[in-house]
Structure 1
Amino acid sequence: MIRPRLLTWLCYLAMMSLAIGINLLPVFLTALSVEHGGLKKEELGWLGGIGFTGVVIGILVTGPLADRWGAKIFSLLGSALLAASLPAAAFAPDYTKLCVALFFLGLGAGILDMILSPVVSALNPTRRAAAMNLLHSFYCVGAVVTILAGTLVLKAGHGWKTACLLLAPMPVVLLVALAFQQFPKMASDEHEHTPMRKLVRDKWFVVALLAIFLGGATELGMAQW
């Protein structure tokens, strides 16, 4: 049985969880440089770039496959990747393994970023706009919590490893909680899919896409600086 209210709130918390994968790294760039033997600025830049490569791949792959395989498997996969990648990043012995861990951390965040919106939309057909706005506000809450936790860890004299391990339980708890939930269907048998070729010919779709691109670039450019 689908429990819309409970699953909606779990999606809100999952949105907070994915914020960890995007916002934790910038707080610790200087500390990571020291921990890994004095990384160059170029190497530090690649850490963020590799993480966002994972985010983009997660979004692009999850979109078309979620309609076929359902939302639950991707919600669990995204949470599992976050839960596994945070400890992996914490204990990465060298730069290469840290890059791999950050890629999968970004991949998990991208999968969740793609799947949470349609799930919340399907769960709340009569209050869709309010539910979606609240969902995305929880990303901001997660970003603030992540940055605050990282700042307090640094102030206490600890580093990257402590911050990763401190935040790792959240995706673990969500993984377990989501595993016991039933998810709504992502695709309706009554309606046909809109072909991408038709979408890109819609000027309002292109304008909205451009606005989201510029908004995201502005937000994340400042966050990752």
Structure 2
Amino acid sequence: MTWPAPAALPVEAYAATRRACYTGYVTQAIVNNLAPLLFIVFQTRYDVPLEMLGRLVLLNFGVQLLTDVVAVRFVGRVGYRRPLVLAHVLSVAGLVLLAAAPALAPSAYAGLAVAVVVYAIGGGLLEVLVSPVVDALPSPAARKAAQMSLLHSFYCWGQVAVVAGTTLLLAVVGERAWHVLPLLWAAVPLVNLVAFLRVPMPPTVPEEHRTPLRSLFSAPAFLTLTLLMLCAGAAELTMAQWSSLFAEQGLGVSKVWGDLAGPCLFAVLMGAGRFAYGLWGERVPLAPALVGCGALATACYLLAVLSSAPALSLVGCAVCGLAVSLLWPGTFSLASARFPLGGAAMFGVLAVFGDAGGSVGPWLAGAVGDAAAGGSGTLAALRDALPVPDASGLRVGLLVGTVFPVLLVVAGAWYVVVTRRAAAAAPPAG
């Protein structure tokens, strides 16, 4: 038997599967981005401090990370359908709990934490499963990276919908009725749950053909890819999770305009970058493109933090979306091309590192911001030395977060060098 096995169904039969995967990433955008948009509500109504809000982000991605680790062990054995259905069930349950648990739990924060844990398990399963499903669908090899980028653009469109819809609805219904919003958004995974019960699924890579994880971790190229994934998650999520509160408290912009000009435009430009690569990506070398994206992300972080003009800081926040657009799907595509039989386990391992970055980056920015805002010391001195002193401390937090796109540039450049050396050393074909 050879692998990959020929498709049991024609390519057209998997169109519904691809659409369900797109909506799966919309679901993940909902569970990752809804709560941060409500941070100001949690802070004012439940008196939750900045560091504890950051802890919710850490909890979300930390649980996703643990879910990734567990899922790596069983996805190849049970197939894709059952865990994908479970992911949507947990996403619905977590969003319902987000609305109800703060009023029912012993403390509002405990209720929020329980809701985050439940939907984070669903989000972790989606992260592990959706990308390898699309990668396994029958399509030309030259289009794989472009299709992966197109898939991940739907995370961005979901983020745009969540940011714009939540911000505008919150302005209409008021903060007192905030709990209606998670219930409305729960309809998306509920509908997609039904879709995943019915659509055809590609087979997983059989164990006898799959590249063992031990072999992957012994390959320097794969270790570099894990570092790229860690930095990609941190660079993307740190700005995405904190830009709303940064715009409101650090820049003095109203919540509606801060959300629309910050995280919403961030998501639009991130989606546009991924969509454009999905259309024309085969013409652009992927690894050098990731290095360029990391450099642009570094510049955007510095512009957001160091600019004394709120409008330019918002430009930095927004354009950062374009800068990070290729980082996550691009790293997946590099891994798939370099290790084509890695299977769902390989995607799961990369998701572990991506979620680790998505956990540590936002938490670090929040913790540093809290430390800079209160008391004295080096961080407080750094806060006061910035062009615009920021009482919230988030400028300092984001400045520290700049280390992640810088590391990504270094790791990406190293990957390009290693790949070129390997290609030069390879014996000529034929």
Instruction: Return the TM-score normalized by structure 2.
Output: 0.50
- For residues 211 and 137 of structure 2, the distance between their equivalents in structure 1, rounded to whole angstroms, comes to 21
Matches within 5 A, 1:4-153: 4-36=14-46, 38-92=47-101, 93=103, 94-126=108-140, 127-153=143-169
Partner of 1:194: 211
Tell me how far apart the structure 1 counterparts of residues 22 and 54 of structure 2 sit (CA, whole Å).
30
Unaligned runs of 5+ in 2: 1-7, 243-430
- Structure number with greater Rg is 2
Which of 157, 172, 190 pairs up with 1:156?
A: 172
Asked if structure 2 preserves the Cα contact closer than 8 Å seen for 1:50 and 1:102, the reply is yes
Opposite residue 43 of structure 1, the aligned amino acid is: M
- Aligned counterparts of 1:83 and 1:200: Cα–Cα separation in 2: 35
Q: Deviations over 1:47-102 (max 9, x none)?
A: 21211122112222222211001100111011111111101111112221220111
Give the letter aligned to residue 55 of structure 1.
Answer: Q
Give the secondary-structure state (helix, strand or coil) at the position aligned to 2:179. Answer: helix
d(CA) in 2 for partners of 1:224, 1:169: 23
Distance between the aligned counterparts of 1:179 and 1:7, measured in 2? Answer: 10
The 2-side partners of 1:158 and 1:116 are apart by: 35
Q: Is the 8 A contact 1:86 1:165 kept in 2?
A: yes
Aligned residues: 223
- In 1, are the aligned partners of 2:76 and 2:206 still within 8 Å (CA)? no
Counterpart amino acid of residue 126 in structure 2: L
CA distance in 2, matches of 1:106, 1:63: 16
Structure 1, unaligned stretches of length 5 or more? none
**Structure of higher RCO (CA pairs closer than 8 Å, 6+ residues apart):** 1
Q: Which amino acid aligns with 2:227?
A: L
The alignment-based identity, stated in percent, is 33
Q: Which runs of 4+ in 1 moved over 4 A?
A: none
Question: What's 2:358 paired with?
Answer: none
**In 1, distance between residues paired with 2:184 and 2:45?**
18
Quote how far apart the aligned CAs of 1:169 are.
0.3
> 2:239 is matched by which residue type in structure 1?
M
Query: Which digits, 9 at most, give the CA deviation of each residue in 1:160-201, with x for residues without a partner?
Result: 312201211000000011111231211236x53322222122
RMSD: 1.7
